[in-house]
Amino acid sequence: MMLPTLAIGLGLAVTASQDFTGNLTAFLSFLLLLLIPWGAVSLVDFYLVQPGEYDVPGMYIRRGKYWSDPATWTHNGVSLKVLIAFVIGVVSGIPAMSNAWYVGPITRHLSNADLSWIPGMVVTSVVYLALVRVGRDAPGKSYTAVASRRQTSPL
Distance of CA 97 to the CA centre of its chain: 17
- Residue 74 host element (H or E): strand 74-75
- 50-66: per-residue pLDDT in tens? 888 888 888 888 877 78
145-153 CB contacts, 8 Å cutoff, 24+ apart: 146/71, 147/65, 147/69, 147/71, 147/72, 148/65, 150/69, 150/71, 151/65
pTM, two decimals, is 0.72
Q: Is 88 in contact with 95 (CB distance < 8 Å)?
A: no
Residue 88's nearest CA partner among 36, 140, 29 is 36
Q: Is 85 in contact with 128 (CB distance < 8 Å)?
A: yes
- 123-136: per-residue pLDDT in tens? 999 999 999 988 66
